[in-house]
Structure 1
Amino acid sequence: MSRPLKIALVAGEMSGDILGAGLMQALKVQHPDAQFIGIGGPRMQAEGLNSYFPMERLAVMGLVEVLGRLPELLLRRRRLVRTLISERPDVFIGIDAPDFNLGVELRLRRAGIRTAHYVSPSVWAWRQKRVLKIREACDLMLTLFPFEARFYEEQQVPVCFVGHPLADSIALENDRAAARRALGVDEEGPLVALMPGSRGGEVQRLGDLFLDAATRLRSLHPGVRFLVPCASAERRTQLEAMLVGRDLPVKLVDGRSHEVLAACNAVLIASGTATLEALLFKRPMVVAYRLAPLTYKILKRLVKGPYVALPNLLAGRFLVPELIQDAATAEALADALSPLLEHGEVQTEGFEIIHRTLRRGASVRAAEALLTLIEQR
């Protein structure tokens, strides 16, 4: 090309900022003079992104919060679309945040700008009709998981499975003893990680339940101890309050969730991306989740498929126990965890195959697919 590539990206939260920064690094290897515009956080800005406004203005969780911010979000999206149509980037990449980005992609593609979406929404699981909008909005879908790519191929949406960056960054083998030394815990004896989530609502619903399960598990295995990684100071305060009056050998750790996973023998974990991390660390797990009753009733009708936990979705079978809503009792969780302390390898035998399947150099593969898309013009 006679001029530098101009690439637009929009990330709406920290996980997208991490993905975007890795993608920008890979793009700059082949195009060092590429220009980056759009919206991103500190990592993307450090890679050279000119962010039109703070990424935090897009990071909204919960229906009520979204409704309260909707006028601002719609105004920002209109202004962003106008700006990008004026800038005419070679490609626009929406990174996750589908409720915001798919609308941007649709308008830009109609204006003749190539568009891609990085990280598929859970359209294969619920609200499947969204695939019609995706087909109209995206020249290319970049997926993290192979089952997502198969879904899009069936729906005739151009797709590229790039793998997951976590599978690239987490080693195939991890040293449990070294992780325990780094965390300052005894190298001997069974250690269970309790991971009730990173958001306040998740910890509120699952924190006491996980601690009750830990109490029962200790009656079955008197020598067991527990590690709990705290995602923030607020989560630590929340968990400290839940521990008052309990006689449990629990160590709270600020962050360092990967070291906690490397150190433990088994994990009691909330459904979500953290279950993928536990799988990549080859740690046996029991997955649990609880939602507000009304939310659960609605989602139960909408969600398609027999699995909730990512390890089961990736394996295509019930590889790990998943106990959801009323099935998630302290007794059931402890009873499911108990055999994993002695025979966890029965569950983890398939984890390395999944790890290798996802370990594909995601950022590089995504960059190559996007450059190919640009060249097709």
Structure 2
Amino acid sequence: MSIPQYTVLFSAGESSGDQHAAHMFQDMQKLCPEIRGMGMGGAKMRQAGIDIRFDSSGIGVIGLVEVLKHYAEIRQALQLMKAILANEKPDLLVCVDYKEFNLKLAQFAKKQGVKVLFYVSPQVWAWRPGRVKTYGKAIDMMAVIFPFETAYYEAENVPVRYVGHPSVDKVHPLRGKQEDFALFGLEPGRPVVGLLPGSRANEIKRMLPAMLEAAGELARSHPDVQFVLPQADSVSDEILQSHLQGFDVAINVVKHQAYDVIQCCDAIMTTSGTASLEIALLQVPMVIAYRLSPLTYWLGKQLVKIPFIGLPNIIAGKAIVKELIQDAVTAENLAAEIERLLYAASYRETVINELRRVKRLLGEGGGSKNMADLALEMLRQG
């Protein structure tokens, strides 16, 4: 009996989506070695064996102004992905995050008779809950990564499955802390502060200058502090060095080993997003900072109905980690919070205990394997 060869089209527009899709495809291959993957993504998906038809590293932008700047490229990507759906008729479309783009793609796939599995729900609990119905019409299954999200889809009779958060499995350092200290040239006994300015070029541009200025302030008031920056795979050396050149405080830049870098840190300045959740899983105290263009921020303020932007705070249901947004992102504010996290013992302990609770709330993991099982289940249903 011949084994059917399934073809899956993946659509991931951001660095985190690229990783999620790559892990999912690797787990699918273990269960079904003859499966083929193709689509839009980045380096991680390519390494996993997915045939990348459009490199999405240049279109992983956030906010209205940023999207408008990259509109031509985003439109080109959408046209190409639609052409693949129409001409090559894959057995399944897996949309990973990148909400608005992937909604348009899912709607087109539905018209082409291609099944759609959407991985990572839009944050309907934060804004525009009416989108549940819109997505429900365009997809065959919504895979959610937070346990509280299923209720929103069940209420509208949209097929939904809680698969677990992919970061729970992924966030594990490769080595012990002592080994990492030696490898990264860090001195034991001296505080280590991490700088995580984001995985997109526009985030680096907005966030890194304030973080570097804060590092400068901390270095002057606490000369024993060491600084380390894990360089995201999607960030070029040129972009990073354009900010670091001429900066007179030593910043130890480490590539491809984010979790090992994070575990070495005593406190971290980070942008909002998946990174804040990964830091929480490793239970390192942090300050979350974020800046958007003024117009994007204003629009967000009108639409978003929750009091937090940081995932640790959203999951905890309260402010367990300090958030600095827009004009509050200053070197002074960043430095003051890092100082508190390093040297105010009871405050530090409270933050760490709350981060432990967030980790417990996220459960045991298995997200990529659960996604692989779900995708193959949909494929075998024919």
TM over 0.5: yes
Shift of 1:219: 5.3
Aligned to 1:334: 335
> Residue in 1 aligned with 2:6?
6
In structure 2, what is the Cα distance between the partners aligned to 1:108 and 1:92?
7
What code does the residue aligned with 2:145 have?
A: L
Normalising by structure 1, what TM-score? 0.86
> Secondary structure of the equivalent of 1:234?
helix
Whole-angstrom CA distance in 1 between matches of 2:209 and 2:300: 24
Q: Which range is displaced more, 205-214 or 260-269?
A: 205-214
1:244-283 mapped onto 2 (5 Å cutoff): 246=248, 248-283=249-284
Runs of 4+ with >6 A deviation = none
> 1:352 — aligned with what?
356
Structure 1 residues 237 and 58: CA distance shift in structure 2, 3 A? closer
Distance across 2 between alignment mates of 1:49 and 1:249: 39
Shift of residue 358, structure 1, vs aligned partner: 4.5
Asked whether the equivalents of residues 6 and 379 of structure 2 are also in contact (C-alpha less than 8 Å), the reply is no
- TM-superposed CA distance for 1:213, in Å, is 2.3
**Which stretch of structure 1 is more off in the superposition, 302-311 or 106-115?**
106-115
Give the drift of 1:210: 1.7
Over 3 Å counting, the alpha-carbon distance change for 1:331 and 1:162 in structure 2 is same
Q: Distance in 2 between matches of 1:141 and 1:277?
A: 23
1:80 to 84, 88, 92: 84
Which residue is 1:365 aligned to? 370
Give the whole-Å Cα distance in 2 for the aligned partners of 1:341 and 1:161: 37
- In structure 2, the gaps of 5 or more residues are none
Q: Tell whether 2:117 aligns with 1:113.
A: no
- Matches of 2:119 and 2:331, distance apart in 1: 38
Q: Within 5 A, what are the aligned runs for 1:122-201?
A: 122-171=123-172, 175-201=176-202
Residue of structure 2 equivalent to 1:207: 208
Q: Compute the displacement of 1:117 (Å).
A: 0.6
- Deviations 1:91-144 (CA, angstroms, capped at 9, x unpaired): 321222333322232233344432211122334323444322211011111122
CA separation in 2, counterparts of 1:154 and 1:174? 44
Matched residues in 1 for 2:67 and 2:183: separation? 40
> Taking structure 1 as reference, are residues 79 and 331 closer, same or farther at Cα in structure 2, changes over 3 Å only?
same
C-alpha contact 1:227 1:252 (8 A) present in aligned 2: yes
SS across alignment from 2:268:
strand
The CA RMSD measured in Å over matched residues stands at 2.9
Aligned pairs, number:
370
8 A Cα contact 1:276 1:311, kept in partner: yes
How far 1:370 sits from its partner (Å)? 2.5
Q: What letter matches 2:59 in structure 1?
A: A
Q: Mark the CA change 1:171 to 1:260 in structure 2 (over 3 Å): closer, same or farther.
A: closer
CA positional deviation for 1:275: 0.9
Which segment drifts farther, 211-220 or 157-166? 211-220
Worse-matched range after superposition: 71-80 or 259-268: 71-80
- Give the AA of the match of 1:69: E
Distance of aligned partners of 1:271 and 1:142 in 2 relative to their CA distance in 1, 3 Å threshold? same
What code does the residue aligned with 1:76 have?
L
**Could you tell me how far apart the structure 1 residues matched to 2:256 and 2:2 are?**
46
CA offsets per residue over residues 144-185 of structure 1, 9 Å max, x none? 222433433344322222123322122399743322111011
Tell me the residue number matched to 1:23.
24
Identity over aligned pairs, percent: 34
Comparing 185-194 with 31-40, which one deviates more in the overlay?
Answer: 31-40
- Cα offsets for 1:222-277 (capped at 9, x unmatched): 4322222334302331232361xx4x353333453322211110101111221112
Give 1:37 deviation, angstroms.
4.5
- Cα distance 1:119–1:334, how it changes in 2: closer, same or farther (>3 A)? same
Distance 2:25 2:259 in 1: 25
2: CA distance between counterparts of 1:256 and 1:150? Answer: 36
2:311 and 2:101 mapped to 1: Cα distance?
24
Per-residue deviation, 1:45:
4.8
Deviates more, 1:213-222 or 1:335-344: 213-222
Whole-angstrom CA distance in 2 between matches of 1:334 and 1:43: 34
Counterpart residue type for residue 371 of structure 1: L
Q: Which sections of structure 1, spanning at least 5 residues, go unmatched?
A: none
Matched residue SS, 1:102: helix
